[in-house]
Structure 1
Amino acid sequence: MGCHEVVQRALKAGRKLLPEHEAYGLCGEFGIPFAPARLAGNWEEARQAGEDLGFPLVLKIVSPEVVHKSDFGGVLVGITSPADLRKAYDRLLANVREKAGHVAVDGVLVQKAMPRGVEVAVGGLRDDVFGPMIMFGSGGILIEVFKDVSFRMAPFDEEEALRQIRDTKASELLAGVRGAPPCDLGTLARLIVNAGNLMCRVPELAELDFNPVLAYPDGCVVVDARMILSA
């Protein structure tokens, strides 16, 4: 199913928040790399997904009523075996029931855990005056602490994306510190450009949030994606 079909189906259903697995579908269409993941509607599907993806894994709740999953115990990491997966699956559902009540749950996202990298963030919003805007900055919790971000009007090219990266303190980490190798800025710049292309070509998309994006010496990958549609 193409991105426009996914978006229209969500809007017809009255949904503004795209579930993470659907957000990754849009990423795939626009050349935005993401951690392999699969939606599981029950334990057997989760078990099979874990077997296919391989350990270690991350589990995330998929619910239209739970936007910030971590606030409700809806993200579990450090799953390294089938036994861990069984326990984590049950605990994840119990956490959400305890903290969020009887919300609608579409399933559980089983995601391949990625190696540690430099955490950055890429975001997008649709400004009433300037149109699609793309943000880049320090990722993870650092985005809230340091507010180290830079904005550009989309669309733009990779050279402009590289300048955007250099506008931030995150560029110092990406260049390598304390003997760490520098990250692959070319691939990261392409991800930023493609996020802008996504905002431009899907006018129903009001916001996108890739945080964190893990940057490596040989690439980068989105490990958490949130997309919000306009009414």
Structure 2
Amino acid sequence: MVMKQVDLAFSESGSDRTLAVEIIKAAREAERQTLGLESFGILKAYGIPVVQTAFAKTEEEAVKAAEEIGYPLVMKVVSLQISHKSDVGGIRLSLQNGDEVRAAYREMMGTIPEKRPDAVLEGIQLQQMLSGGKEIIIGMIRDPTFGPMLMFGLGGVYVEILKDVMFAIAPVNEKEAREMITGIKTYPLLAGARGAKPSDIDALVDAIIRVSKLVCDFPEIEEFEINPMMVLEEGKGAFAVDMRLTLKKK
């Protein structure tokens, strides 16, 4: 595979960082320490591609948003108290039309409170459903000695059971970001094992470098995770599907 020079041509001090500052400031003012998908704007500010997403508080809003995004869609419940959405039936895949959106919304709002009466359901999130691709995870935890420690690995069972991840101290350059990717044991799955088409490694390198810049710019971010990010075939990019960040306590 030909290695391309990754382009990080985005503003260092303009509206990009300003948008991220505003989102974090708003969270502080609302006394929210943990942010989820509502902070997607931070990724956009740093040029990290995100899957097309909309938030809805009502059934009618959900149907309207679905028509605007287009089908097929994924629906996810939005609640700070629910980390593992699938455990409570908080994820629906491959919704094909408005009727299916309505049915999924009603079922979530009807059954999840029975399973998690402690959870506040803020609404639902609709996302474009990407076809193909592989799930990866990019994370960061701020070590008291070494500072921001970046993590990269394949998502799902690979990170949960096999613990197949690589770490690096931020900031990282292109060479270091690429070594994080090629260093995992399951890298052949990304490179195109057994005749499969290779994944877009350059897009992952770019995403790691941008995350590195983000967490260095904002030392108040204690933990950060894009999980999953869907990486498509070579040349087609990688898109954040879900994210979570935790701010340091004041």
Q: Aligned equivalents of 2:180 and 2:36: distance in 1?
A: 29
8 Å Cα contact 2:78/2:121 also seen in 1: yes
Contact 1:36 1:53 in 2 (8 A): yes
Equivalent AA in structure 1 for residue 19 of structure 2: G
Map of 2:7 onto structure 1:
none
Structure-1 residue corresponding to 2:246: 228
Could you tell me which residue of structure 1 aligns to residue 237 of structure 2?
219
- The equivalent of 1:58 in structure 2 is 74
Q: In structure 2, do the counterparts of structure 1 residues 71 and 11 end up closer, same or farther at CA, with 3 Å as the change threshold?
A: farther
Matched residues in 1 for 2:28 and 2:244: separation? 16
8 Å Cα contact 1:19/1:63 also seen in 2? no
Q: Alignment partner for residue 44 of structure 1, among 57, 60, 64?
A: 60
Name 1:27's counterpart in structure 2: 43
- What is the root-mean-square deviation in Å for CA atoms of aligned residues? 1.5
Spell out the pairing of 1:68-217 with structure 2 (5 A cutoff): 68-216=84-232, 217=234
Structure 2 segments unaligned to the other structure (5+ residues): 1-17
Contact 1:138 1:169 in 2 (8 A): no
The alignment of Structure 1 onto Structure 2 pairs a total of residues equal to: 230
2:9 maps to: none
- Within 2, Cα distance between the matches of 1:223 and 1:19? 11
Q: Is the 8 A contact 2:36 2:242 kept in 1?
A: no
TM-score (norm 2): 0.87
1:167-205 CA deviation, whole Å, 9 max, x = no partner?
102311111022211112111101011111111112221
SS in 2 for 1:2: helix
Unmatched segments (≥5 aa) in structure 1: none
Match of 2:3 in 1: none
What's the TM-score, normalizing by structure 1? 0.94
Once the two structures are TM-superposed, the CA of residue 102 in structure 1 deviates from its matched residue by 5.0
How far did residue 146 of structure 1 move? 0.8
Q: Measure how far apart 1:12 and its partner are.
A: 2.4
Matched-pair identity in %? 37
| More RCO (CA 8 Å, sep 6+) | 1
Report the CA distance shift for 1:221/1:170 in structure 2 as closer, same or farther (over 3 A): farther
Distance 2:133 2:185 in 1: 16
Separation in structure 1 between the aligned mates of residue 186 and residue 132 of structure 2, nearest angstrom: 16
**Aligned counterparts of 2:38 and 2:186: Cα–Cα separation in 1:** 28
**Greater than 4 Å deviation, 4+ residue runs:** none
